[in-house]
Amino acid sequence: LPTPPARLPYVPQVPRTALLGKVTASTFALERPHCVFDGHADASDAVWLAVAFANASAAFRNPLSRADVPRYKQLPTARSYMTLETAAAAYSCSAPSPAVLRVGDDTACRDQGRQDPCNGPLPSPGPYRVKFLLMGCRGPKAETRWSEPILLRRAVSPSTIDPAPARRGSAVVVIASILASLGAVLATAVLGALG
C-alpha cells in the first residue's frame, strides 16, 4: 500500500483583503500558499488544487498518479476535479509569486477539444471546498486541509430588476432646484459683466 500523504496544517482561504472580483458567479480567488510544501517537495513534484462541492469533499479520494487525476469535465457527475498543476518550486519560500490564484477563470475549458487539466468556470454557486495536494512520481506526498465552504455570487435575474428609478426625497429636489437657480444667477452675472 502507498504511504498516506503528510497532513499539513495549512487551510486554503479566499483573501481577506479587498480585491476586485474576489468572488464572482463562476470564479473565486485564493491566497497562494507560500512556504507550505518546503521540506516535503522535490524538484520534480507538482502541486495540484482539488476542487469539490462542499458536500462531496469528504468522499474525495486522492489520485495515485497524474493519470488518475479527476478532470474538470467530470465535475457535474464526479462532484470534484483537480486543476492548477504547478511545479512545487513555485510555492517555495524563495519563489517570488503573485499573491492570489484564480479558480475557474479559463473559459476555453468549455471547448470540446480542450485538454484537461483545466481551470474552467464553476457551473453553480456551490458552495465549494478546496485543498492543495503535493504529488510526486509515486503519488500524493502531502496535502493541506480542506477550506471552509466558498459560496459564489448568484447572478441577478433580469426580471427582478426594477426599471422605475427610485423616488427622490423632497430634500434632494429642493437642493437641486436651489443649485440650478444659483447657476442661472451666476451665468446672468457673468454675461452682464462681460457686456
Q: Which residues make Cβ contacts (< 8 Å) with residue 147, sequence separation at least 6?
A: 11, 12, 13, 30, 129, 130, 131
Q: What is the pTM of this model?
A: 0.75
* Domain total of the chain: 1
Domain that holds residue 64: 6-153
For the chain, which ranges sit under pLDDT 70?
A: 1-2, 97, 110-116, 155-169, 195
| Total Cβ atoms within 10 A of residue 6 | 13
Residue 145 pLDDT? 95
Q: Where are the beta strands (DSSP E) in the chain?
A: 6-7, 28-31, 46-53, 80-87, 100-103, 128-136, 139-143
Instruction: Answer yes or no: is 166 within a domain.
Output: no
pLDDT of residue 195: 67
Return the pLDDT at 129.
96
Whether residue 28 is contained in a domain is answered as yes
Q: Does residue 183 lie in a domain region?
A: no
* pLDDT reported for residue 47: 93
CATH value at residue 83: 2.60.40
Assigned domain for 179 exists? no
Indicate whether 121 belongs to any domain: yes
Domain membership of residue 164 (yes or no) is no
In a domain, 193, yes or no: no
